Amino acid sequence: MSEHFKQIGSVSAAVLALTLTACGSMAPDYQRPAAPVASTFPGAASSAATATSAAAIEWRQFFTDARLQQLITLALANNRDLRLAVLNIEQARAQYDIRRADQWPAVNAGLSGTRVPTSAGGISSTYTAGVLVTAYELDLFGRVRSLSDAALAQYLASEEARKTVQISLVAAVANGYLALQGDEELLRVTRQALDTREASYRLIRLRFDKGASSQIDLRQAESLLESARVALAVATRQRSLDENALVLLIGQGLPQNLPQALATSAAASLPDVPVGLPSEVLMRRPDVRQAEQQLIAANASIGAARAAFFPRISLTGSVGSVSSELSGLFGNGMAWSFAPQLLQPIFDAGRNDANLRLSEVNRDIAVAQYERTIQSAFREVADALAGRATLGEQLRAAQALVRVEQDRYRLADLRYRNGASSYLDVLDSQRSLFAAQLSELQTQIQYGQNLVTLYRALGGGWSAAAGR
């Protein structure tokens, strides 16, 4: 019995020795393409030496609103797009495990028996039991290893894809929350304007009935009243649409026990985002790393295509016991077999050449996609920086305009009550004040959403320590 296992060990050792003689991959040496973008972001040269990057700021530190934090937590737990990304990781992991397993021989234990009639009219029985190494490819030219390397890169790319989905999800929830907060404020301002215009209309109607105002004044007041009702209907509908979008992101209905919402101005007051050099920032973005892993996978596939031109050696072997009686199967009878096979491509109608050209073209496509991803990321950051540079000043100007229009409305109403001007001046100041308030509100939301976009564009929203 011990002798049998010694022979089995000898065969296994021989297979392992042949495996260790296999050479490396025939894939081209990978070199990261140079980034086809400028060396600095527009308007961000002074931030090149920033110590802390946006990618290092965990989303709970960036979004301090307790209500928003709970919504993001729900989205990370329930969002279906994120679930699909996680499942894609598991799929890529399984494919990589399959490819990695191809680098090792498959060893199986087997038990078989045959009974055939003999020429003398009897029955001949043969029973075998042993270990079988099935069609193991000796990877002398790195074909199997290249396929495994490609599968590993695809698996790593799926990991980066999940991070991209999470970063986008966090930003989408934050932007949706800010939009919903803006809708609430818009409804408040619109209802306030509607109340004011209803009061004005009643006053003008009363004066018109007594002959103290003209029909033009009446129609002007009625026009402003109806326009306020239209604005209220639009704002109500927009709030419902934004709430539906947020519900889709978090994967469930809005809970009733959410923390108290902050005012729109407080919710949009997010911290500034540090910006570094493009070479540092863009390499932190998971979509850029995903594109690079896909490029690495395409590069490894070239090695497999090149190895297909060389001989493919496969080994099949077995060792075990043989007996004509089942009871004597594990006696002294031994049998072994060793069947190496070498296949050298001679004529394949150009299939290997086409596969090599295809893998090289796929690598060139992956390079172009990688470069395009970097350029798109650079533009996202540059656009967000342009917004940061101008939206702050725009918001300050909009706030100043509201103060001016509020004072103008107060003065116009005072002049009208003292008989120094017509009511058309009051109605005109009402219209201008409402427009200024809407402009301030929209700019405030844009300012907050731009900071969220900049945070996402710089790779913020992912915590490697927490895994989410």
Per-residue pLDDT, 23: 52
- The reply to whether 380 falls in a domain is yes
Q: Three-state DSSP class for 135?
A: strand
In b/e form, how buried is each residue of 227-253, taking b as 16+ CB within 10 angstroms? ebeebbeebeebbeebbeebeebbbee
Whether residues 324 and 180 share a domain: the answer is: no
Whether residues 249 and 389 share a domain: the answer is: yes
Strand 123-138 and strand 106-117: pairing?
A: antiparallel
The set of residues, in sequence order, having a beta carbon less than 8 Å from that of 87 and lying 6+ positions away, is: none
The set of residues, in sequence order, having a beta carbon less than 8 Å from that of 118 and lying 6+ positions away, is: 124
Whether residues 172 and 254 share a domain: the answer is: yes
Per-residue pLDDT, 107: 74
Question: What distance in Å separates the CA atoms of residue 370 and residue 372, rounded to the nearest whole number?
Answer: 5
Q: Is the dihedral of CA 195, 196, 201, 203 positive or negative?
A: positive
- The reply to whether 77 falls in a domain is yes
What range does the domain containing 120 cover?
1-28+104-138+311-344
Per-residue pLDDT, 383: 92
- The reply to whether 463 falls in a domain is no
**Sheet bearing 334-343, strands edge to edge:** 106-117, 123-138, 312-323, 334-343
| Global confidence as pTM | 0.80
Whether residues 249 and 114 share a domain: the answer is: no
- The reply to whether 47 falls in a domain is yes
Question: What distance in Å separates the CA atoms of residue 9 and residue 226, rounded to the nearest whole number?
Answer: 92
**Alpha carbon 414 to chain centroid, angstroms:** 57
Task: For residue 281, give the CATH number of its domain.
Answer: 1.20.1600.10
Per-residue pLDDT, 226: 94
Whether residues 151 and 229 share a domain: the answer is: yes
- The reply to whether 375 falls in a domain is yes
The set of residues, in sequence order, having a beta carbon less than 8 Å from that of 70 and lying 6+ positions away, is: 255, 258, 259
Whether residues 41 and 2 share a domain: the answer is: no
Residue 15: CB atoms within 10 Å: 19
- The reply to whether 468 falls in a domain is no
Q: Amino acid identity of 151?
A: A
In degrees to the nearest 10, what's the CA dihedral of 402, 406, 409, 415? -140
Per-residue pLDDT, 16: 44
- The reply to whether 465 falls in a domain is no
Per-residue pLDDT, 67: 92
Q: Three-state DSSP class for 312?
A: strand
Question: What distance in Å separates the CA atoms of residue 314 and residue 339, rounded to the nearest whole number?
Answer: 8
**Alpha carbon 215 to chain centroid, angstroms:** 60
Question: What distance in Å separates the CA atoms of residue 86 and residue 312, rounded to the nearest whole number?
Answer: 37
Lookup: tokens for 315: 């080994």
Question: What distance in Å separates the CA atoms of residue 170 and residue 453, rounded to the nearest whole number?
Answer: 10
The total number of structural domains that make up the chain: 2
Whether residues 321 and 425 share a domain: the answer is: no
Whether residues 182 and 328 share a domain: the answer is: no
Per-residue pLDDT, 143: 84
The set of residues, in sequence order, having a beta carbon less than 8 Å from that of 83 and lying 6+ positions away, is: none
Per-residue pLDDT, 326: 62
Task: For residue 127, give the CATH number of its domain.
Answer: 2.20.200.10
Per-residue pLDDT, 373: 93
Question: What distance in Å separates the CA atoms of residue 277 and residue 18, rounded to the nearest whole number?
Answer: 49
Per-residue pLDDT, 409: 92
Per-residue pLDDT, 331: 63
Per-residue pLDDT tens digits of the chain, which is 468 residues long: 444 434 444 444 444 444 444 456 788 888 888 888 888 888 664 444 444 577 788 899 889 899 999 999 999 999 888 888 888 888 888 887 777 777 677 777 777 777 777 777 777 777 677 777 777 777 778 888 888 889 889 999 999 988 999 999 999 999 999 999 999 999 999 999 999 999 989 988 998 888 887 888 889 889 999 999 999 999 999 999 999 999 999 988 888 888 887 777 776 678 877 777 777 778 888 999 999 999 999 999 898 888 888 887 777 777 767 666 666 666 666 776 767 777 788 877 888 889 899 999 999 999 999 999 999 999 999 999 999 889 989 999 999 999 999 999 999 989 988 888 888 888 889 999 999 999 999 999 999 999 999 999 988 887 654 444
Whether residues 378 and 319 share a domain: the answer is: no
The label of the residue with tokens 């096979």 reads 341
Per-residue pLDDT, 242: 94
- What length does the chain have? 468
Q: Residue 208: is it exposed, middle or buried by C-beta count within 10 angstroms (0-12/13-18/19+)? A: middle
Whether residues 319 and 439 share a domain: the answer is: no
Question: What distance in Å separates the CA atoms of residue 117 and residue 107, rounded to the nearest whole number?
Answer: 32
Whether residues 205 and 152 share a domain: the answer is: yes
- The reply to whether 289 falls in a domain is yes
Question: What distance in Å separates the CA atoms of residue 152 and residue 100, rounded to the nearest whole number?
Answer: 9
Whether residues 259 and 305 share a domain: the answer is: yes
